[in-house]
């Protein structure tokens, strides 16, 4: 493979935070509810924290986000929860009760900490990563894997559907988003 082809192949396996943030904005999201995680911190959370278009609400525990997002939806405000998979697993009862059973438009962006983005999550050697999609399937929770820039196009339609159909969605971030090369958003 020549150097140009290698460069194209490498770029096809990248995920840029700026594209994700643009998709979130295009979805009408106003509030970001977050517990910092290592997967999304530099590429998403740091730029979001500086972005005047968002209201960042930092929470102590991930399941707090579920109730807050539900309350915001009743006020016609759109929210996105930014957590990692361990917090998603810790929040399953809140997700089950509020998001799934009460059909709330709870939109979650879930970082797959320690996931090898070249392997399907279901094939991950990490037990916690391996069970995320089957849990979502069993709960009837729509989910989409976002691992490369080409996947970013799934974000806006998934959020729009969640709010239109009043149903939850999990956007699984399969690799660390690269921070923007710009110094400010």
Distance in angstroms (rounded) separating the CA atoms of residues 92 and 124: 20
**Tokens at 2, concatenated:** 């020549």
pLDDT one-digit tens code per residue, 91-145: 999 999 999 999 999 999 999 998 999 999 999 999 999 999 999 999 999 999 9
Is residue 42 situated within a structural domain?
yes
Q: Kind of pairing, strands 142-146 and 79-84?
A: unpaired
DSSP H stretches of helix in 99-149: 127-139
Provide the 3-class DSSP secondary structure of residue 174. coil
Is residue 146 situated within a structural domain?
yes
Q: Into how many domains does the chain fold? A: 1
Full-model pTM:
0.91
Is residue 164 situated within a structural domain?
yes
Distance in angstroms (rounded) separating the CA atoms of residues 168 and 111: 17
pLDDT one-digit tens code per residue, 9-43: 456 789 999 999 999 999 999 999 998 766 677 88
What CATH number does residue 41 fall under?
3.40.50.970
Distance in angstroms (rounded) separating the CA atoms of residues 23 and 156: 6
Is residue 150 situated within a structural domain?
yes
Query: Where in the sequence is the domain holding 14, given as residue range(s)?
Result: 3-173
Is residue 104 situated within a structural domain?
yes
Is residue 182 situated within a structural domain?
no
Is residue 184 situated within a structural domain?
no
Is residue 178 situated within a structural domain?
no
């Amino acid at each position: 493979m020549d150097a140009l082809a290698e460069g194209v192949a490498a770029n096809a396996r990248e995920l840029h935070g700026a594209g994700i943030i643009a998709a979130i904005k295009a979805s009408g999201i106003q509030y970001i509810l977050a517990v910092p995680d290592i997967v999304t911190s530099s590429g998403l959370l740091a730029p979001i924290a500086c972005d005047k278009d968002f209201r960042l609400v930092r929470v102590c525990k991930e399941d707090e986000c579920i109730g807050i997002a539900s309350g915001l939806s009743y006020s016609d405000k759109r929210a996105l929860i930014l957590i990692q998979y361990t917090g998603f697993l810790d929040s399953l009862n809140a997700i089950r009760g509020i998001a799934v059973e009460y059909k709330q438009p709870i939109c979650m962006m879930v970082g797959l900490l320690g996931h090898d983005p070249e392997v399907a999550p279901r094939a991950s050697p990490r037990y916690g990563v391996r069970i995320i999609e089957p849990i979502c399937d069993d709960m009837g929770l729509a989910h989409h894997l976002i691992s490369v820039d080409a996947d970013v196009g799934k974000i806006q339609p998934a959020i729009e559907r969640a709010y239109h159909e009043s149903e939850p969605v999990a956007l699984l971030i399969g690799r660390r988003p690269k921070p923007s090369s710009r110094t400010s958003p």
